[in-house]
Amino acid sequence: MARLYVLLFLVQIVLAVCALISCLSAEEGQIRALPRIAWVLIILFFPLVGSIAWFVAGREPAARGARPVGGGSTERQPRRPLAPDDDPEFLRSVQDRSRQQDQEIFRRWEEDLRRREDDLRRRDGEPPREGDRPEV
């Protein structure tokens, strides 16, 4: 019988600690009925009843899958990207930067090709042909 009392006492302590953590970490808009300090005192002085009361009546119930933000409303807020690869603006900037780098590499490659072509023509004694080159 003593083991049962010890187990119930431990469950009561764990429940009170969880209720205190929940109460202290709740936003102001999520606390109902009483001010935060009153809930903390109730949980401390009456651990079992206070903890159960906090979870039942003291906090604003959160919508499933959505956590209330700021004022405690459970309306769906627009999701902000969690990582850079989830942000469409960041992905667009990476794509633009990549496109600019590709164009710069292509431009340098064409210049190098023209220079080599002109060097070969000079070696063969032909003048470089300006009219045959496409404009970029």
Q: Residue length, the chain?
A: 136
User: Is 73's pLDDT higher than 60?
Assistant: no
Q: What is the pLDDT at residue 104? A: 96
DSSP codes of every residue in 21-73: HHHHHS-GGGB-SS-HHHHHHHHHHSHHHHHHHIIIIIBPPPPTT----TT--
Q: What is the pLDDT at residue 132? A: 56
Classify 125 as helix, strand or coil.
coil
User: Is 85's pLDDT higher than 70?
Assistant: yes
Classify 133 as helix, strand or coil.
coil
How confident is the model over 37-51, as a mean pLDDT? 93
Q: What is the pLDDT at residue 135? A: 58
